[in-house]
Chain A
């Protein structure tokens, strides 16, 4: 982001376009690529493109979508699938709880926040956490929504393109695109290593995530987040107290 990008926009509409422009480029391309991978999973599952698109529209959170298709293919019960998807997507709770206070503007009706929460993704969350503090309150939600709309559209396009392409491209290419999602999340975390608390939470989370999964596939991730995050938080508190 250049220096000009750190000043406010002239209007709410300008902020919407600003979010739009910030998303066009690497975020849009990466989301597109990740969802091309999802499209290939949809094709292999035999579920059909309408269902794939419906999933990307109604439950836009890729790791959970992959888990849903996988467990469905294995013939799991609907309750088991819902629980696994829920546990996979638990990150959305703390993401929403930190985004909404940042984009809140007393003049808006509450439903707008409930609608905006539906399109929170890791990419747009990180972008908004960086950009919104430099914007007036009235421009924050429009910026966020502008950013989300681009990557959401790209996700839908990617789902469709992946569905049609995966029969043509070699399987390792489809696999590489499925791998893009964790790699992208990992590098987003690596680019945001600001204070010692967060770094501690990220490193501990990476170690505990797979370990606790063996203890409890359902609750392991949630416990990882709360435990590793809390330790990270106490580390950052101690650092602040020392000055």
Chain B
């Protein structure tokens, strides 16, 4: 690709990604003007936020982009479920849950 020859190209890509990210942030501030925390729409938007985050997490585990493609899907999904189970077994211990999944993944791909 011709563009990759320019040393500036990765920076342009990075700036485009930054603009694409800030687009949501800026739009969010602009649209939040009249919303109050007690409005029904506030609860609807927070439900959408949780669902979007949940969809993203599932996608990152089941259909990852990047280095995680090197781990098989059963390994990724198994390690994630293991984290979840340990988190609840240890009475919602965040640290225990966070540690076991990635450690299990590392051992399984070693």
Q: Which of B17, B58, B76 contacts A68 (CB 8 A)?
A: B17
Whether the pair A114, B29 counts as a contact (CB closer than 8 A) is: yes
Q: Which residue of B lies closest to A201 (CB)?
A: B51
What B residues does A94 contact at CB under 8 A? 28, 45-46, 48-49, 52
Q: How large is the interface on B (under 10, 10 to 19, 20 to 34, 35 or more residues)?
A: 35 or more
A47 to B9, CA, bound (A): 11
**Interface on chain B toward A: helix, strand, loop, or mixed SS?**
helix
- Select the stretch in A8-16, A147-155, A219-227 that faces chain B: A219-227
A178 and B14 form a contact (CB under 8 A): no
A66 in contact with B65 given A113-B29, A180-B98 (CB within 8 Å): yes
Please, what's the 1-or-0 string for B6-33, where 1 marks a CB less than 8 Å from any CB in chain A? 0000111111111111111111110110
B residues in contact with A133, CB < 8 Å: 37
Out of A51, A67, A184, A212, which one reaches B10, CB within 8 Å?
Answer: A51
Task: Select which of B27, B31, B48, B97 is within 8 A of A230 by beta carbon.
Answer: B48
Does A233 lie within 8 Å of B47, measured CB to CB? yes
Question: Per a CB cutoff under 8 Å, which of B14, B49, B87, B102 touches A229?
Answer: B49
Listed from nearest, the 3 A-B pairs whose CB atoms lie closest are A96-B28, A209-B55, A225-B52
Chain B residues with CB under 8 Å of chain A are 1, 4, 10-29, 31-32, 35-37, 40, 42-68, 70-71, 76, 79-80, 83-84, 87-88, 92, 94-95, 97-98, 101-103, 105-107, 109-110
